[in-house]
Amino acid sequence: MDSITDMAGLGALYGAGGVVGVICYIIVAIALWKVFTKAGLPGFLAIIPIVNLFALVKVSGLKIWWGLLYLVPIVNIVFAIIVALKVGERFGKGGAFSFFLLFLFQFIGYLILGFGDARYRQP
């Protein structure tokens, strides 16, 4: 990076990625709002960054303190898969749906749960 134009190009790349990240976050927050209201929780919990993870743990049927596992570096990936599978189970969805659409492509999966005809079943 010898010139100012190289640095400006790099800054534009970060800016575009930031915009895409914010758009994905907004889509997931809207979808989680609907999922939380179906589960009987206040929907506004979806827009608060850390709190929405703990609310999702509660929707999955696990104890809410298990949400602390999201803070442990490698364990958080495994725990996110477990929570996705449990949430899918609570809404009557299978394992493949839960893994691919609730873990890998959250912005699609939670929109399907929130705005679809899936019903929440109490744990």
8 A C-beta contact, residue 31 and residue 116: no
Q: What is the mean pLDDT of the chain?
A: 89
Q: Does residue 10 surpass a pLDDT of 70?
A: no
d(CA 117, CA 115): 7
d(CA 51, CA 45): 6
- Please count the helices (runs of H) and the strands (runs of E) in the chain: 5, 0
Of the candidates 60, 106, 65, 68, the residue with the CA atom closest to the CA atom of residue 86: 60
Identify the weakest region by mean pLDDT among 8-12, 15-19, 32-36, 74-78: 8-12
Q: How long, in residues, is the chain?
A: 123
CA 53 and chain centroid, separation: 8
Q: Tell if the pTM clears 0.75, that is, is over it.
A: yes
pLDDT at site 19: 81
Identify the weakest region by mean pLDDT among 10-14, 59-63, 105-109: 10-14
Of the candidates 87, 81, 78, 86, the residue with the CA atom closest to the CA atom of residue 110: 87
pLDDT at site 18: 75
The pLDDT confidence band at residue 101, using thresholds 50, 70 and 90, is very high
